[in-house]
Structure 1
């Protein structure tokens, strides 16, 4: 295992030791100080790859897992995975530092918190560095499971449980759809490697499964990145502690879908289907999130919808930029490729200002006891540092200078204007909608950013509405958002450092046609002249100020939209409807009678196996090589038939038990006839013990009486028993004549030479399958210890009484 593989597993290794550290140092040292070393170490390790990656180099290392199936853990670092790796670990380290001061070591179960977070961190790292699509899927679902645990961290709260359930249902649904799409993709490309798929794009594009595979993979990306209409899980996930929200919903989990779209753009990009689906869903999500964010009364709810909006912006840019692959390498390709560069730039910028804002909102909640905008106000003089950081983060999100969000927002306007000025895929009539939707959504973005700043910190301070006396947070809690806010400003003044060392290599990973060409020559500058983009920004500011000042006049319009038609309303009604229908169906077949359940099982087996035999044209029954049936064997069979019929028609439990025992003894007689005395002895012991246990159990049961069952008794019993017996017999006879491989019996016949045993069965149990036998004995020992413990506890309870 290389250092690169070890780097990915560092969070998992730390997660193993967290419970022990928590136990040993509980109440003395905060567990977060131990956990902080994991993301910090990986972040510093990844930093050393920046010089080589910026020169166009990549790193690929293989770790064998299931080589016979072509499934290996291939770690691959290029510009795209490096950006995500740095965000996962860099923001992760700041969030852990923040949580040390936010999460109380006396009142919180910190071992659970940090184990879940480390699991999530490791899963995200594995996801963005995996080249094998099946390994990627394993990490993908691990992020869903660990995020479920994180969101439900305060499981005592109903809203936390509901939010975790909603996120799990939606993201797991998308993950399963994505798995189906990836399997289709691997069938088309005949490989599990994403990099090798890039070489089979023509074959994939022309395949009939291309569109279904693309849609299924996009379902996975859209559900994970909270794209419309799957956005509803993200606001409910805000019930988690603020460090979790800052980590999952600003820098990591919601960016997994963005990563997936960017990573598969070389495979599906350049087609009209990918372009329109990704870009249009992104724009709809942008509008949906920004419009709903304005109506929120909870600060974290506002940030949740703003995150949805910003994710839609990034997604739309990736969709627009994918058209670059349609043109190949040239001037028109370069124009569209600029949108991908803007998406990657805003990806980094969003992680900085949104992570900072989440932490500041957590500080407000921590120091005032509320996040309700209606109760807040006048905090500027009481929390001056938090106020300053909020201005930096909010104005960056609104796209104002001198903050990094202004640069990427201008680049976003450039991207949507490109579609209008150079329409692609013959949809000129719709191209005007791109800049219109982008501009309108930006106006709403400006409004909710102003709400975040002015409704929280300006106005009159009303301490009677707060649960705590408001004051500034301790410096330790302020350091992480200060670092992120400083990055917001530094990136604005030195954007080309980020562009040259991170964005250009990542662009080459998303658009391979620029590999070896030096990428796109882009000089990002704060001032780029009096352009259309700048006038759009000025329009956003002017119109946004007017709408913010008149907010009370038009905000009541939100109340006219019926709640039943909202996405949350549809989800809740659908979930309730499915539960109601499933309850009705369950009551139909869950009758409470074991016999009914056996009828269902056996009937299904008859139809499934019988229909399979019927459809198999090559099934034959050659009995010519079978040994002849002697008269005494026929007599034993007749006796077995009489015993079986006695069980069926007996009206006494005692008679039925005796008949079952007799049937077992007759089977043991067959073992004697076929020269298997050890099996016969085993069968005799089992039948004797079973008969005795049956008699003991039935002795304590109530008298036999007629029970109402949903299935008629006698005729059904006859048909099911005959059907099962016939199908199993036919399968056994057909299998005897269709041996695909040489029998292994010849190998075990040499048991004396191989194992020194004269008895084949004993040799199989003790030598050839000794591990199985040992595990079976272990299971029996555990069960025995469990029974002994229960009896001892019951006796101890009686003694106390």
Structure 2
């Protein structure tokens, strides 16, 4: 499984080079095979006899950080959606994105996002899951802001990242609490300790933290506001994010942790309430939109709310319906986004007010839209998969237990939200494909899309029809395993279209269709209600106000200390370090002074230290550049002599080398600078300088003495003496420590220097380029 997770990232390394031949071959053709091969690999696990698979790869075992992957029915469902629809999205993008686009950037971001989502759904270690979780936020930020020359794209990308990263930090808090409670970082290990978690004093806090992560990612009310603005992304991105990936991550998270929290009534109340409110609000607001992708964005919000509500119910029927609808939603929503992209691509607009009568001009797209929109609406037809899961949803709302006030209201709210689901579905289809043509309002003369762009939505719509005709084809071999991973008590039962006229969910469906038709036909008469609700109320306005206030206040705070004065910066840094460290060590009795094991001070040492002190003080009074450098060099060479006395030749040689090179470089640089000029300081400034300098110096002296005088831990030097040759293969202990025991530390130090060198080189090149212009 590790190869499947990291294959997209590894291939992404080569995409920039592959994209150089995009004039001859579209980059997407090469990228297509990565998700397709992953899909073919995982599809082999579908079967009635499937059992979970676990794989562990040691990463940092001492910290409990391992790459633990766990494939069960739930993760298999999501992996197939991520890779399967990912393949179709890449195929669709080949015709949607022109070769003149920055295809290398696009496919690197897409592969990064794909790998992150695969890591989220396959990880069993909570901290590995969190790492992949945040990678989805970063990569989706890059995808949404792909057309970064558009202000709305940048706004939508930043908005999505701020909200989802806020949820991600909350999620990390929940994971840390779970790890503390259970003593394990394994999700399956946590599930085995449900009783301990449910008895914990931190149960509610842990649940809230985890749900914040899920709600922000899956655009639940009131965090839904980022999703409509994410529509500024290219349509292939929108299709992928909405049908199979980004917004489904929160759904997956709640499903994965349901075995832990489902027995807690707070879980039922919070998740069910937020989910059902999101369903109603999303479907209600979708009818208000005029942008095709805006309609689909709010429809996604409503559908996600419906799935979230079912997971909150936690019953066998609700869990199975939720899993079934995850699959169904991916098929009809993915195809609808691609159809919206086709309409935009072929007409030049997504404004539904300018569209109409396109069925005769785009007959194939119109036909596909019929199946997809009617399936989304839950129209009771046997060849539409959306009706089955919608009916199962209605069935799950009946007879709920716990929180009577909520259980009794949920069926009515479900019908209310589904009525508007029907209305926005009809609004989308009939507003685009029927009615009078408005060709004069279209930027482009519309015509049917090329066959390459139609292949992906055709495959998805075939999925809508085939699942509708043969729902049990994916039941026992696929859906059943996914549902059992969420609720082990789910029992197999056939999915049937007809249950009789007295079947309550059918009656609820007929009410939805009947009332929905009336509201759709009279939409222009009642749409003025949006002037009342939401009216001037807007969560976007709240978000914008918060961001503006944060910018204003943070700028005000920053400007108080970012004055451009190096003296001010040093005062803040050294002063804060002095005060905080001194107070902490004082309160914790950290100061220990013991001279019992200190060696005698020789006259040579006193002489050297005296010279060093005189040289250091002299730097304050010398005005000549060269003289300052030479006096500073005396300090460095004096320290190297101390190393010689203390029998540390390696350190002495290192100090001598560094000091010599530093002096040479200083002399080269200072040659081109004017002589130093002492600035006249006020008495208060001089007092501040003396206080901070003396105080910070005294603090360092006390810390050094305390560190030498303390013996809280066994000395690590014995370990290095015993193992430097055995493990490092060297007699020089210092060298072995630097190269072997602290090899990563040394490597990162070199990396930092390398990055700094590249930055300096880039600045020099940029300056020369500007001078040449």
TM score, norm. by length of structure 2: 0.91
Tell me which residue corresponds to 2:432. 456
1:113 aligns with 2:85: no
Say what the alpha-carbon RMSD is for the aligned residues: 3.3
CA positional deviation for 1:742: 2.6
Which whole-Å CA distance do the structure 2 matches of 1:536 and 1:792 have between them?
A: 69
Single out whichever of 369-378 and 622-631 deviates more from structure 2.
622-631
Residue in structure 2 matching 1:396, options 371, 375, 380: 375
Equivalent position of 1:327 in the other structure: none
Structure 1 CA distance, aligned partners of 2:729 and 2:210?
Answer: 56
Distance 1:260 1:792 in 2: 48
Q: What residue is the counterpart of 1:737 in the other structure?
A: 709
Do residues 181 (structure 1) and 197 (structure 2) align?
no
Distance 1:577-1:786 versus aligned 2 partners, 3 A rule: closer
| Cα distance between partner residues in 2 of 1:132 and 1:774 | 27
1:381 and 2:378 are equivalent in the alignment: no
**1:110-149 equivalences in 2 (<5 Å):** 110-149=103-142
* Shift, 1:499, TM fit: 1.9
Q: Which structure 2 residues correspond to residues 618-697 of structure 1 after superposition, within 5 A?
A: 619-630=591-602, 633-634=605-606, 636-638=608-610, 640-648=612-620, 660-664=632-636, 666-668=638-640, 670-671=642-643, 673-674=645-646, 697=670
For residue 379 of structure 2, give the secondary structure of its aligned residue in structure 1: coil
**What is the aligned length?**
769
- Give the gaps of 5 or more residues in structure 1: 322-335
Rounded to whole Å, the distance in 1 between the matches of 2:292 and 2:181 is 47
Q: Deviations over 1:386-417 (max 9, x none)?
A: 11111111111111022111111111111112
Report the alpha carbon displacement of residue 77 of structure 1 after superposing the two structures with TM.
Answer: 1.3
Whether 1:9 and 2:2 are equivalent positions in the alignment is: no
Is structure 2 residue 234 aligned with structure 1 residue 231?
no
* SS of equivalent residue, structure 2 residue 57: strand
Aligned residue runs from structure 1 range 395-794, under 5 A: 395-402=374-381, 403-419=384-400, 423-424=401-402, 427-513=403-489, 519-560=491-532, 565-617=537-589, 619-630=591-602, 633-634=605-606, 636-638=608-610, 640-648=612-620, 660-664=632-636, 666-668=638-640, 670-671=642-643, 673-674=645-646, 697=670, 700-701=673-674, 704=677, 706=679, 712-739=684-711, 740-744=713-717
Matches for 1:280-429 after TM superposition, within 5 Å:
280-321=273-314, 336-402=315-381, 403-419=384-400, 423-424=401-402, 427-429=403-405
Give the CA deviation at 1:704: 3.4
Cα contact 1:85–1:125 (8 A) shared by 2:
yes
Q: What is the CA distance between 1:592 and its match in structure 2? A: 1.0
| Alignment partner of 1:73 is 2:55 | no
1:5 deviates by: 2.7
2-structure distance, mates of 1:284, 1:661: 71
CA distance in 2 between counterparts of 1:529 and 1:273 reads 36
Whether contact under 8 Å (1:58, 1:77) holds in the other structure is yes
Instruction: Select 2:201's aligned residue among 183, 187, 208.
Output: 208
**Cα drift, residue 264 of structure 1:** 0.3
Aligned pairs for 1:26-41 within 5 A: 26-41=22-37
**How big is the shift at 1:14?**
2.7
Aligned-residue offset at 1:609: 1.7
Distance 2:726 2:128 in 1: 43
**Contact residue 231 and residue 238 of structure 2 kept, 8 A:** yes
Change in Cα spacing, 1:634 to 1:39, as seen in structure 2 (3 Å) is closer
* 8 Å Cα contact 2:591-2:702 kept in structure 1: no
Q: Which moved more, 1:750-759 or 1:200-209?
A: 750-759
2:156 alignment counterpart: 163
Deviates further, 349-358 or 208-217: 208-217
Whole-Å Cα distance in 2 between the matches of residues 444 and 379 of structure 1?
Answer: 24
- Per the TM alignment, residue 650 of structure 1 is displaced from its structure 2 partner at its CA by 7.1
Q: CA deviation at 1:769?
A: 7.8
* CA deviation after TM superposition for structure 1 residue 793, in Å: 9.3
Contact 1:416 1:435 in 2 (8 A): yes
In structure 2, the CA distance between the partners of 1:266 and 1:468, relative to structure 1 (3 Å rule), is: same
Closer, same or farther in 2 for the Cα pair 1:491/1:62, shift >3 Å?
same
Contact 1:359 1:481 in 2 (8 A): yes
> Using the alignment, how far apart are the partners of 2:495 and 2:724 within structure 1?
77
SS of structure 1 residue aligned to 2:55: strand
CA distance in 1, matches of 2:194, 2:506: 39
Structure 1 residue 588, shift from structure 2 partner: 0.4
| 2:252 pairs with 1:259 | yes
Q: Which residue of 2 aligns with 1:197?
A: 190
Indicate the SS of the match to 2:445. Answer: coil
The 2-side partners of 1:227 and 1:313 are apart by 10
Q: Which residue of 2 aligns with 1:330?
A: none
Work out whether residues 493 and 526 of structure 1, in 8 Å CA contact, stay in contact via their aligned partners in 2. Answer: no
Q: How far apart in 2 are the matches of 1:540 and 1:564?
A: 29
Contact 1:495 1:525 in 2 (8 A): no
Deviation at 1:660, TM superposition (A): 4.3
1:701 to partner: Cα distance: 3.9
Q: In 2, Cα distance between the equivalents of 1:580 and 1:108? A: 36
> CA offset at residue 131 of structure 1?
1.2
Change (3 A) 1:539 1:28: same
Cα 1:526/1:603, change in 2 over 3 Å: farther
Aligned counterpart for 1:221 among listed residues 214, 221, 237: 214
Partners of 1:773 and 1:205 lie apart in 2 by 45
Who is 2:80 aligned against? 86
- Please say if 1:45 is aligned against 2:45: no
Which has the higher mean CA deviation after the structures are superposed, 700-709 or 626-635?
700-709
1:40-62 C-alpha deviation (Å, 9 max, x unpaired): 211122121111xx335221222
The one-character-per-residue Cα deviations of 1:104-137 (angstroms, maximum 9, x if unpaired) are 22x2222222222122112211211111111111
Give distance in 2, aligned partners of 1:490 and 1:762: 67
* Aligned match of 1:57: 51
**In structure 2, what is the Cα distance between the partners aligned to 1:262 and 1:437?**
22
Measure how far apart 1:744 and its partner are. Answer: 2.4
Q: Is the 8 A contact 1:668 1:683 kept in 2?
A: yes
Does structure 2 retain, via aligned residues, the 8 Å contact 1:398–1:445? Answer: yes
Residues in 1 aligned to 2:41 and 2:375: alpha-carbon distance in whole angstroms: 29
Per the alignment, in what secondary structure is the counterpart of residue 56 of structure 2? strand
Q: Which runs of 5+ in 2 are unaligned?
A: none
Moved more, 171-180 or 107-116: 107-116
Q: 1:712 to 1:356 in 2, by over 3 A?
A: farther
Query: CA separation in 2, counterparts of 1:723 and 1:685?
Result: 31
Alpha-carbon contact 1:383-1:471 (below 8 Å) kept: yes
SS of alignment partner, residue 243 of structure 2:
coil
Q: 2:726, 2:427 → 1: CA distance?
A: 85
> Using the alignment, how far apart are the partners of 2:204 and 2:187 within structure 1?
18
Output the CA distance in 2 between the equivalents of 1:705 and 1:370. Answer: 66
Give the structure 2 partner of residue 95 of structure 1: 89
SS of 1:72's partner is strand
- In structure 1, C-alpha distance between the alignment counterparts of 2:396 and 2:727, rounded to whole Å: 73
Q: Report the counterpart of residue 240 of structure 1 in structure 2.
A: 233
CA gap of 1:698–1:214, structure 2 versus 1, over 3 A, is farther
SS at match of 1:60: strand
Whole-Å separation in 1 of the counterparts to 2:444 and 2:94: 21
Residue by residue over 1:159-210, the C-alpha shift from the partner in whole angstroms, topping out at 9 and shown as x without a partner, is 1111111111111111121112111111111111111111111111111222
